[in-house]
Amino acid sequence: MRKRRNVTYYRVIYGDCDSMAITYYANYLRLFEIGRTELLRELGMTYREVEDNGLFLPATEAYLKYIKPALYDDLLRIETMIGFVRRASSRFDYTIYREENIIVQGYTIHACLDKANRIVRFPDFLLNVLKVEGE
């Protein structure tokens, strides 16, 4: 069975921070995207390949719970998991750590759209990447 969890590391740069050297709150969504992109890559599919096949996975919902701030030069561990895969949507769950401390948790939900921006079912090639046997 394939693992549907990815761990990616990211060091906070000065451009991520506000004037107090604290990571600006909206930048955590960018960190979620980094985790999601790397999870898909680890599972054998890049976003570029998804788009080359005429599909798009826009976010339709996002949730973040801020627990502790990330600071300039912190090394963060982004853990990303697939929460669910339905006919035309999927959920990715994220936990961001500084050392062993959770600083942010959240999720994003993504629809599957075709080039005409219509919601479509996930095609088999993408379902085979996202789903684990027995699901």
Range of the domain at 123: 5-130
| Closest residue by Cα to residue 4 from 132, 133, 134, 94 | 132
Q: How many domains does the chain have?
A: 1
CB-count exposure of residue 40 (10 Å: 0-12, 13-18, 19+): buried
CATH of the domain at 85: 3.10.129.10
Over residues 80-117, the pLDDT tens digits come to 999 999 999 999 999 999 999 999 999 999 999 999 99
- Determine the Cα–Cα distance for residues 135 and 133; give it in Å rounded to an integer: 6
Query: What pLDDT was estimated at residue 121?
Result: 96
Does some domain include residue 135?
A: no
Write down the pTM of the prediction. Answer: 0.92
Does some domain include residue 105?
A: yes
